[in-house]
Chains A and B, each alone.
Chain A
């Protein structure tokens, strides 16, 4: 049986949430000022503890420990989920990029990388590892802003990236490979590429469909918005 790590997190997260709800229900019904509850004892199997002390301990678990666990598992789910292509395709504004990438006839850079399996998995994340919820703190804040704007529908199509694409995303894989080193212009423009004064796409073409193609009503829009399998 092949169990995915994400499935383990899903099960653990659900268990923590269920335990948290049960503990909270107990705490909500507990009368902490009743003196008889101080005298009553609860058996925990290995020890008998006063009911009031048990309720206080459970309140700490229900309102601090279980929520911390649930938030940890859910955030793990968030930050692992955004690595997957289907995580990106979950938002319909990203469908043109994802559908184009999976189109065997497309000649965009993303499609060529996908078709030739130059990147084995998590193709979106590999080239955009510094952007959105998978990146650094600033990128995560941008990701949360995108999430807020998407779910409140306060965006306009076609969407535009507000940040400049960092060449490091390409150079992480391509720099110092024999094929890369064999091209003279890479050495000539090396300093500019490293400083992001010139971007890889200047010579290597469009990475994704153009803004015009992604504009609602355009000839390519319906094709690009087709749902991914």
Chain B
């Protein structure tokens, strides 16, 4: 699965707009950088951080079917003992 696809395309667009402003400064490129490129960078960065947090949580608290066989067996026996 390509996990960071839309974030990357957002950032690519933002990089292109930023480069345009850096190479040809003026009021319109400045407005494009300020009001479009910077928010795009922020959206891409937030998307990346959300995916990282989801990934960390998945590895810290994996679903039962994603756990290793030994952990799955231990969990099952603990549930049986409780019941």
Contacts and interface: CB of A to CB of B under 8 A. Distances in A.
B14 A30 contact: no
A32 B3 contact: yes
A21 B25 contact: no
Interface residues of B, number: 34
B22 interface: yes
Chain B's interface: helix, strand, loop or mixed, by majority?
A: helix
A151 B1 contact: no
B19 A17 contact: yes
Interface residues of A, number: 39
Contact of A24 (B15, B25, B34): B15
A91 B26 CA distance: 8
Interface of A: 9-10, 13-14, 17-18, 20-21, 24-25, 27-33, 59-60, 62-64, 66-67, 70-71, 73-74, 77-78, 81, 87, 90-91, 144, 147-148, 150-151
Interface of B: 1-5, 7-9, 11-12, 14-16, 18-19, 21-23, 25-28, 30-31, 33-35, 37-38, 41, 44-45, 47-48
